[in-house]
Structure 1
Amino acid sequence: MRLAKFDLLQWLTPDVQEEFLARMYRRHYAAGQPVYVQDAPGNEMFRLISGTVKISVLRGDGRHITYRLFESGDCFGQTSLVDGEPRPQSTEASNAVEVDVLSKMDFRWLCDRYRVFDRAISRLMAAQLRAMAQNYEGASLDSLPVRVARQLLLSRTMQLRTAEQDDSDESQIQMSQSDLAAMVGASRQSVNRVLQQLREKHVIEISYGRIDLTDLRALSSITTQ
């Protein structure tokens, strides 16, 4: 079984995996529904079963900066259970989502009972911190076309992992230009100009809420420029 990048199971022994999953319960979110909001108390952590969840931070100027999409198997929401502080960011269902939920009480019980669980939480937080640092590095050093191309390819990879698609659909990304702009740290207008340039070169096609990657080789070559 392939485990997601931020799946806590990869650092747990089989017996603790079983205990962890047994203490969770299922919850559903509709597209656009928040899983939790920034600055709210944190009383649960989550493991994504299906769908995608975007994570964003509200800046002082009122703008939301989206910097990651979680895929099936990813665990998130543990930070506030560790430090007792309010949620440091917001998470929202990008589409219909199923998650397994672990309460704060069960989280603490697992940490106290199993040292391997406590260590696994540290590994999870370290992995997410490294990913965030890589995102910021790319945003500060790479040109906007490179960031857009890289995010389109990453989103395609994540979508293929989280949905059963036939060959005709494998290069279609369900994503708004606003979400793409937030994830690459640029304005929607700037991202739209890059997308139009890619469309003119027949690298992509643009529809409402969807981007078709028609030339994956050309798109990949942009990421190395």
Structure 2
Amino acid sequence: MTIAELPLLESDDWFGALPAARRRLIVDQARVRSVATGELVYAADDPPNGLWAVLEGQVRLIGHLASGVDLLALILRPGTWFGELSTMDGRPRPHDAIAYGATRLLHLSQPVFNRLAADEPGLYRDIGLLVCAHQRTALAFIAQGLSQSVTTRLARTLLQGAEVSGSDVLNIRQSDLAGTIGVSRQTLNKELQRLCRAGLIELAYARITLRDRKGLAAIGDD
């Protein structure tokens, strides 16, 4: 990592608020990793592999729902730290973390984190604050989503599914999609039929094909 990149990391609210000695300790013990676009930083259910920060490029966290839908949970841009939850509790990763574009990351490995935390117990509190910050962001995102209309939530969910899968064809049952956006199957069917009549999607058994992403995006922005 270059000296010029340190201000980028310190611009993050969490990292910038750490004591200077703690920031230096983390940076000195971390290593820079280059990751190609589409490459996994870690996968859902992987064991924890430490704490990460984006220096260049982008990382996306992808969640796999029981309904079979893959949703974009978070987009991580330069200066953002991630991976703290499993680093803290030692449990498997809850998301895929995938690089988009040529990406450079700062990586504090799990063994190094464990060693540093044994010598500096305050590091556990620091990571706990990062967990809290991301939890607050997630709750605000959920609250915003619930305040949106069913049509808006549906359009956004369809677009996210297409973006994550890389295909305009989504293989999903209506009952599962209804559970994902929090409505009854009957309500969902009415909304899907409305989008179908507008020429935005095409319906088949357990399959939805997106025909007009721009039109769906306009609805999703409402």
Which residue in 2 is equivalent to 1:193? 215
> Structure 2: how far apart are the matches of 1:57 and 1:47?
19
Is 1:97 the counterpart of 2:100 in the alignment?
no
Which residue in 2 is equivalent to 1:66? 72
Alpha-carbon distance change, 9 to 196 in structure 1, aligned in 2, over 3 angstroms = closer
Moved over 6 A (4+): 144-148, 185-188
User: What is the CA RMSD across the aligned residues, in angstroms?
Assistant: 3.5
Residue 143 of structure 1, aligned match among 124, 144, 149? 149
Which residue in 2 is equivalent to 1:107? 113
Which residue in 2 is equivalent to 1:36? 42
SS at match of 2:126: helix
Residue 130 of structure 1, aligned match among 129, 136, 146? 136
- 1:196 Cα deviation from its structure 2 partner: 5.7
8 Å CA contact retained: 2:34, 2:102: yes
8 Å CA contact retained: 2:62, 2:96: yes
SS at match of 2:105: strand
Which residue in 1 is equivalent to 2:162? 178
- 1:118 Cα deviation from its structure 2 partner: 2.1
What TM-score do you get using the length of structure 1 for normalisation? Answer: 0.64
Tell me which amino acid in the other structure corresponds to 2:47.
Answer: P
Alpha-carbon distance change, 40 to 143 in structure 1, aligned in 2, over 3 angstroms = same
Determine which structure has more spread, i.e. the larger CA radius of gyration. Answer: 2
Question: What are the Cα deviations for residues 158-217 of structure 1, in whole angstroms up to 9, with x where unaligned?
Answer: xxxxxxxxxxxxxxxxx99933899xx87883864233679xxxxxxxxxxxxxxxxxxx
Tell me which amino acid in the other structure corresponds to 1:134.
Answer: A
Which residue in 1 is equivalent to 2:85? 79
Which residue in 2 is equivalent to 1:27? 33
SS at match of 1:130: helix
Instruction: Return 5+ residue gaps in structure 2 as ranges.
Output: 1-6, 167-179, 182-207
What TM-score do you get using the length of structure 2 for normalisation? Answer: 0.65
8 Å CA contact retained: 2:31, 2:107: yes
Tell me which amino acid in the other structure corresponds to 2:162.
Answer: S
Alpha-carbon distance change, 17 to 197 in structure 1, aligned in 2, over 3 angstroms = closer
SS at match of 1:21: helix
> Structure 1: how far apart are the matches of 2:25 and 2:115?
11
> Structure 2: how far apart are the matches of 1:10 and 1:179?
33
Question: What are the Cα deviations for residues 8-30 of structure 1, in whole angstroms up to 9, with x where unaligned?
Answer: 42231111111100101111111
Instruction: Return 5+ residue gaps in structure 1 as ranges.
Output: 151-174, 199-218
> Structure 2: how far apart are the matches of 1:136 and 1:127?
15
> Structure 1: how far apart are the matches of 2:27 and 2:164?
33
